[in-house]
Amino acid sequence: MKFHTVEIEERRELGAYTLLSYRWPGEKVEPGRFVMARAAGCPVTLDPFLARPFSFYDFEDGVASLLFEVRGRGTALLDRATETIEVTAPLGRGFEIDVSGGRAALLGGGIGVAPLKILVRELAARGIAHDVFLGFLDNRTAAVAADFPGATVATMDGSAGTHGTVLDAAPDLTAYPTVYACGPNAMLAAVKDAAGPEGLRQLSVEERMGCGNGSCNGCVVPVDGGYVRSCVEGPVFRAEALAW
């Protein structure tokens, strides 16, 4: 897989998360696709040995951005990067945009809100009405909701918005012709059940990835009849395709 060295345009904190922006001169970034990223230095240092997958948070005027939470060695090194990082071209399959689908509901849980920012931008550009519902652990993680004007927020500890999960803050999802969601698998399974089988329901899964190109089979998800790789066949799937 080819990596490109890119210059960091901006780095800022959004509550518990880091927003890292870089100039991307390549192909247009589409909502729901992802990138493998690592701190500059490989293969000289081999640190980190494996890049990390991140959904694109936004893309505007040739600048792409990633939203992430520091959870281990790889994200800690990215969090400390000040000049350059190494990234792949956009990977995977993103969200389908149905211009005739009517009003859409977007649901994000925790760091799973990441692919929704660029999706909001695309829906707005196409004139598609939408409502955004975001769920977080607490007020600190919910700080990123400021990037989603008009969004309805829920927190598990009740420190911001509705006390409960993102589904506690959302209305009847069966009323929406289109539903998009990203977050932990348990949340996605609950959204699938709440949204029902009618209409366009798309879920962006959060699976650990080693390669990002389908070689390692480390990011498989269950479907009827077996498993598929979320890095190649996903990370966005129609809800009915997932065997949850």
Give 55: exposed, middle or buried? Use CB within 10 Å, 0-12, 13-18, 19+. Answer: buried
Residue 73: per-residue pLDDT: 85
pLDDT for the residue numbered 43: 57
The predicted pLDDT at position 244 comes to 87
Structural domains in the chain, sorted by start: 4-87 (2.40.30.10)
Amino acid 27: pLDDT:
85
The predicted pLDDT at position 147 comes to: 96
| pLDDT tens series, the chain, 244 aa | 899 999 999 999 999 999 999 999 988 899 999 999 999 765 555 666 789 999 999 999 999 999 999 988 889 999 999 899 999 999 999 999 987 878 999 999 999 999 999 999 999 999 999 999 999 999 999 999 999 999 999 999 999 999 999 999 999 999 999 999 999 999 999 999 999 999 999 999 999 898 999 999 999 999 998 999 999 999 999 999 999 8
Predicted pLDDT of residue 96: 96
- pTM metric for this prediction: 0.94
Question: Dihedral angle at the C-alpha atoms of 238, 145, 190, 170, nearest 10 degrees?
Answer: -100
CA distances to 6, 68, 111, 224, 244 from 180, in Å: 30, 20, 15, 21, 17
Pick from 12, 11, 13, 33: nearest CA to 22: 11
Give residue for tokens 């005027």: 61
Tokens of 6: 């890119």
Single out the residue of 31, 43, 62, 58 nearest to residue 3, CA to CA.
43
- DSSP E strand boundaries for 70-164: 84-87, 104-109, 130-136, 152-155, 162-163
pLDDT on residue 98: 86
